[in-house]
Amino acid sequence: MNHLIAPSILAADFANLQRDIEMINNSDADWVHVDIMDGMFVPNISFGFPVVAATKRHATKPLDVHLMIVDPDRYLKAFKDAGANGITVHYEACPHLHRTVQAIKELGCRAGVALNPHTPVALLEDIIADLDMVLIMSVNPGFGGQKFIANTYKKLNDLKALSEKKNPGLFIEVDGGVDQNNVKELLQAGANVLVAGSSVFSSAIPADAIYNLKHP
C-alpha cells in the first residue's frame, strides 16, 4: 500500500486558508487533515463547523477530521454534514467506543480511533477489526510544532503486528512532529498515513515539502 499524506491545516495561514487549501489540492497530498479542539479534552480551541464547511467548499481532496473533543458522539452528524469524509475520535474520550465507531460508519464516514502517547495499542485488540484507521499521536495533542516522541516507533510496530492479525487493510496514521528527518523510519515502522503540519506550512515551498514526504 502506498502511503498517504494528510497536511494539517492547523498549521496553515488562517487569513489565507483558501489559498493554502488550493495549494493542497494541487499538491501530492491525499487528504486534508482537520484538527478539531474544544479547549476541554485538549488545552486549545481550533475550528468549528463553519470552518470545516468552508474548507469542504474549496477542497478537492477528502477531509480527514480529527476530533480532540469530549463526548464526540454529540457532533458526529454535524461534522459529517459539514463535509467530513473520515472522522477520528479519541479512545480516551469514548466510554462506549464500539457504539461511537458504529455511529461514524452509519454516517458513511471512515471510522478512526486516535491514541494519546500514553495509551497502549493493546487496548484496541477487541475493536481493531471494526476500525478503518488508527491514529497514533506522536506528540501530546493540542498544539502544533511539538517535539516528536520516540516511543511512537514501538507503538507503530505493535499496531502493525495487531493489524496484520486482525485487520490487514487498516490505515495506520501518525500525527505530530512528522518531517523529512523521520518519514522513512515511520514508514518502516508501519505507518501508511502521515499527517504533517508545521513541516509543510513552515517550509519555503509547502508543495515541495509535501512532495518530499510522498517520495522520501
Catalytic entry in 35, 38, 132, 179 = 35
In the residue annotation, 64 being an active-site residue is answered as no
Tally: H helices and E strands in the chain: 8, 8
Catalytic entry in 30, 38, 64, 175 = 175
CA distance 152 to 165: 20
Contact 93, 69 (CB under 8 A): yes
Q: How far is C-alpha 79 from the chain's CA centre?
A: 15
In the residue annotation, 175 being an active-site residue is answered as yes
CA distance 27 to 211: 7
Q: For residue 172, give the H/E element and its range.
A: strand 171-175
Residues noted as catalytic: 35, 175
